[in-house]
């Protein structure tokens, strides 16, 4: 059926409109107030994102230093433990063919307090040696007592730290407070800092005053692992595992193959409270491990909640896989074993260089000593002025007899470091070349030169 001119016009107009929407996406604005101490995720989406274009979040003309991800034509940014410093405007920029276009402007307002009551703020943190979690309890009113409690399982609540007006903070355990925890009584602020975050630190944390619950925070932990844990060998398969401690509602775990900051979906799975194992595993064949970067992401619906550090795999060496933050993905004991082995190798190398230097020095010294006590037949010839020697002996004899009578005559002494000592009378001219006779004499330096009688 042939198209009518009007139909063709509509199709062309629709195509151009779609192309125009892709090239010049409309600016979307949003504004919301978030709770102090909570995590905030910002998302920006475009209809189509080519490989040559980039989509990123900026603040005040600068890229943000927080966690970000480019996935499914969307740019994500996670702001951890927000406060007044995170307040302001965030711009989502699309850069394509040298053009910079603003897609979205998000205005963020942060409350002056962290009150949630029984309603919990949910945060996710990776379990590692360099991770931390700050639990904020800030009020407008004044309270006489403060305390933080932890409930890892239902009906298992225990006190962590507590303080009363005019007193010091009492640590009650079992989780020791980090360096950013409150240490003295403050009428408005009582914070608890966890560092590092262990996988079994998940649970419900509550800030309680003498009136009741002020802030409730639910902490979920995630961890990633690599098998084999002692490194990736050439032509060897690898198993990547991403695990979450617990689930409230439903959570989607995603393994991404990273190409720069852009993630390509490899595998995903929705986790619910009914799942026995809250983990997602990827089995990589030998031809998929050299070299690739992998990252585990946690989503609740379309909101990015957490990103594990990037795992870099390389099959060319036996070194353990290393994350983008510089920490090994193998267990701590394995990492310590590799560190100790490296230190031992460096020490052995330094000791070998030192011993070699000492042996070389002793060898050179021995050669020098042997050259001093060498065979007389190999000594350099020594030339002695026979005439001058005879004259010097005569002058020496006369000197012993006449020194007391003529002291002025022997006042000037001329010495040369490379010759025997010569004592001449003032105004005496040394022998000329016509009266010089040369003789070759071999001697051993270890023996004294015999007295020559001429």
Query: Looking at the domain assignment, is residue 89 inside a domain?
Result: yes
Q: Do 324 and 264 belong together in one domain?
A: yes
| 237 and 328 inside one domain | yes
The answer to the question of residue 227 being in a domain is no
Instruction: Count other C-beta atoms under 10 Å from residue 248's C-beta.
Output: 12
Is residue 83 situated within a structural domain?
Answer: yes
Average pLDDT across the chain, whole number: 75
What is the per-residue pLDDT for 236?
74
- Whole-angstrom distance, CA of residue 302 vs CA of residue 381: 98
Peptide bond into 363 cis (omega under 30): no
Q: At 104, which CATH number? A: 2.60.40.10
pLDDT-based confidence at residue 22 (cuts at 50, 70, 90)? very low
In a domain, 366, yes or no: no
Contacts of 142 (CB under 8 A, 6+ apart): 187, 188
Read off the pLDDT band of 260 (50, 70, 90). confident
User: What's residue 160's pLDDT?
Assistant: 97
Q: What percent of the chain has pLDDT over 90?
A: 43
Residue 354 in any domain: the answer is no
| Chain segment 398-411, per-residue pLDDT in tens | 544 444 444 444 44
* Of 376 and 144, more confident: 144
Question: Does residue 236 belong to any structural domain of this protein?
Answer: yes
Domain co-membership, 134 together with 106: no
Residue pLDDT, tens place only, 276-291? 889 999 998 765 655 6
Statement to judge: residues 155 and 211 lie in one domain:
yes
At 92, give phi and psi (nearest 5°).
-95, 120
366 pLDDT higher than 50: yes
Q: Assess whether pLDDT exceeds 70 at residue 138.
A: yes
Of 220, 253, 272, the residue that ends a domain is 220
Q: What is residue 144's predicted lDDT score, i.e. its pLDDT?
A: 92
Q: Identify whether residues 388 and 419 lie together within a single domain.
A: yes
How far apart, in whole angstroms, are the C-alpha atoms of residue 337 and residue 185? 43
Indicate whether 261 and 323 sit together in one domain.
Answer: yes
- The encoded tokens of residue 187 equal 């009428």
Give me the pLDDT at residue 234, please.
57
pLDDT at 334: 41
| pLDDT bracket for residue 235 (50, 70, 90) | low
Structural domain includes residue 169? yes
Closest C-alpha to 119, from 215, 250, 251: 215
**Does residue 308 belong to any structural domain of this protein?**
yes
Q: pLDDT grade, residue 296 (50/70/90)?
A: very high
DSSP-derived secondary structure letter, 418:
T
Max mean pLDDT range (98-112, 190-204, 287-301):
190-204
Residue 362 pLDDT level (bands cut at 50, 70, 90)? confident
151, 208: one domain? yes
Tokens representing 426 are 């003032």
Ranges 66-70, 292-296, 379-383: which has the least confidence? 379-383
Q: How confident is the model at residue 340 (pLDDT cuts 50, 70, 90)?
A: low
Secondary structure (3-state) at 426: coil
- DSSP letter at 73 equals T
When pLDDT is cut at 50, 70 and 90, the band that residue 21 belongs to is very low
> What is the mean pLDDT of the segment spanning 369-393?
46
Choose the most confident range, by mean pLDDT, from 52-61, 359-368, 416-425, 427-436: 52-61
Are 247 and 270 within one domain? yes
Domain stop point among 304, 335, 366: 335
- Note whether 127 and 216 are same-domain residues: yes
The label of the residue with tokens 């931390």 reads 132
Q: Do residues 321 and 245 share a domain?
A: yes
Q: Is the pLDDT of residue 35 over 70?
A: yes
Task: Please check the confidence at residue 387 and state whether its pLDDT lies above 50.
Answer: no
- For residues 110 and 83, the answer to whether their CB atoms sit within 8 Å is yes
Domain that holds residue 312: 232-335
If asked whether residues 99 and 174 sit together in one domain, one would say no
243 and 196 in a common domain: no
pTM: 0.65
Look at 308 and 388; give whichever has higher pLDDT. 308
Q: What total number of domains does the chain contain? A: 4
Q: What's the whole-number mean pLDDT along residues 138-158?
A: 94
């Amino acid at each position: 059926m042939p198209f009518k001119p009007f139909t063709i016009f509509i199709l062309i107009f629709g195509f151009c409109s779609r192309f125009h929407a892709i090239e010049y996406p409309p600016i979307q604005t949003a504004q919301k107030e978030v709770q102090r101490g909570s995590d905030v995720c910002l998302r920006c989406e475009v209809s189509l994102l080519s490989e040559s274009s980039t989509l990123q979040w900026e603040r005040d003309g600068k890229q943000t230093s927080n966690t970000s991800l480019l996935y499914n034509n969307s740019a994500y940014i996670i702001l951890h433990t927000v406060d007044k410093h995170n307040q302001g405007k965030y711009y989502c920029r699309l850069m394509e063919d040298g053009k910079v276009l603003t897609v979205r402007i998000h205005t963020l307002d942060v409350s002056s307090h962290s009150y949630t009551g029984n309603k919990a703020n949910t945060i996710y943190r990776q379990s590692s040696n360099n991770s931390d979690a700050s639990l904020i309890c800030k009020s407008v009113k004044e309270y006489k007592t403060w305390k933080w409690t932890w409930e890892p399982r239902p009906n298992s609540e225990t006190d962590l730290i507590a303080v009363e007006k005019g007193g010091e903070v009492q640590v009650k355990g079992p989780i020791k407070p980090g360096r950013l925890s409150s240490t003295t009584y403050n009428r408005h602020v009582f914070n608890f800092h966890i560092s590092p975050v262990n996988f079994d630190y998940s649970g419900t944390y509550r800030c309680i005053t003498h009136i009741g619950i002020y802030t409730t925070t639910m902490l979920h932990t995630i961890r990633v692992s690599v098998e084999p844990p002692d490194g990736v060998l050439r032509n060897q398969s690898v198993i990547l595992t991403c695990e979450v401690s617990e689930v409230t509602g439903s959570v989607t775990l995603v393994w991404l193959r990273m190409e720069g900051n852009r993630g390509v979906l490899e595998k995903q799975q929705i986790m619910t409270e009914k799942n026995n194992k809250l983990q997602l595993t990827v089995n990589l064949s030998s031809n998929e491990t050299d070299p690739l970067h992998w990252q585990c992401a946690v989503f609740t619906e379309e909101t990015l909640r957490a990103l594990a550090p990037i795992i870099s795999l390389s099959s060319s060496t036996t070194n353990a896989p290393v994350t983008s933050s510089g920490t090994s993905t193998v267990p701590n004991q394995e990492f310590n074993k590799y560190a100790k082995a490296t230190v031992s190798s460096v020490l052995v190398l330094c000791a070998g260089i030192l011993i070699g230097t000492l042996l070389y020095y002793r060898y050179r010294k021995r050669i020098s000593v042997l050259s001093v006590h060498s065979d007389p037949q190999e000594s350099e010839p020594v030339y002695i002025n026979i005439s001058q020697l005879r004259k010097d002996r005569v002058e020496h004899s006369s000197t012993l007899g006449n020194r007391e009578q003529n002291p002025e005559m022997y006042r000037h002494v001329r010495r040369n470091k490379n010759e025997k000592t010569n004592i001449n009378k003032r105004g005496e001219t040394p022998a000329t070349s016509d009266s010089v006779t040369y003789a070759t004499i071999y001697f051993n330096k270890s023996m004294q030169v015999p007295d020559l009688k001429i």
